[in-house]
Structure 1
């Protein structure tokens, strides 16, 4: 048994290194993903991958490409029925996840907001 094996047995970890490269990981049941925020460039947060990906898929499915886009409240109403009940029971925490995904996708240039208020979102054409 190697030293790494001993450490894996002695200390509970969520991630197991599978190569010499630290960025190659096998993800466990608590999978996390790093997200950005357009309002704080360079800063990232680690969040639940399953909830992030479910919200991302739902949000991108309801947003139009055409300007001026869709109001955030309209987008939320449209995506709520499509969210997995197991991840968002009764839509609980959907508002927080919508905002987190919105800010991350804005930072990555996948969606954009209209210049005028109230906030309207649209997908950026590929």
Structure 2
């Protein structure tokens, strides 16, 4: 059984969900390495493409499920105030 970590969702602030800690940590580290600070954010698609080479193949073979994990970590980091969402179309995200 894998270790779990509780994540938040900016859209449902009073609820937490337990997810795989190793996958969460790997995705969080990769996302924080590629997402810029300030107004020049990246779209979710750009983030997904940028993190794939940084993800361990043992956890994300050929990038499998990386899209779901990008969204999971993005919502959690927004809830924690680490990422910010910009009012652009499509939405862009940057570190606070």
With normalisation by structure 1, the TM-score equals: 0.74
Q: Which runs of 5+ in 1 are unaligned?
A: 1-28
What is the match of residue 75 of structure 2? 103
Map 1:1-126; keep pairs closer than 5 Å: 30-124=2-96
- The answer as to whether partners of 1:51 and 1:87 remain within 8 angstroms in 2 is yes
Q: How far 1:118 sits from its partner (Å)?
A: 0.7
Instruction: Give the length in aligned residue pairs.
Output: 96
Instruction: Give the distance between the partners of 1:65 and 1:49, measured in 2 at CA.
Output: 25
Instruction: Give the distance between the partners of 1:37 and 1:117, measured in 2 at CA.
Output: 21
Q: How far 1:68 sits from its partner (Å)?
A: 3.5
Higher RCO, Cα 8 Å, sep 6+? 2
Q: Kindly report the root-mean-square deviation, in angstroms, between the aligned alpha carbons of the 2 structures.
A: 0.9
Q: Counterpart of 2:39 in 1: which secondary structure?
A: coil
Instruction: Give the distance between the partners of 1:87 and 1:68, measured in 2 at CA.
Output: 29
With normalisation by structure 2, the TM-score equals: 0.96
Q: More helix per residue: 1 or 2? A: 2
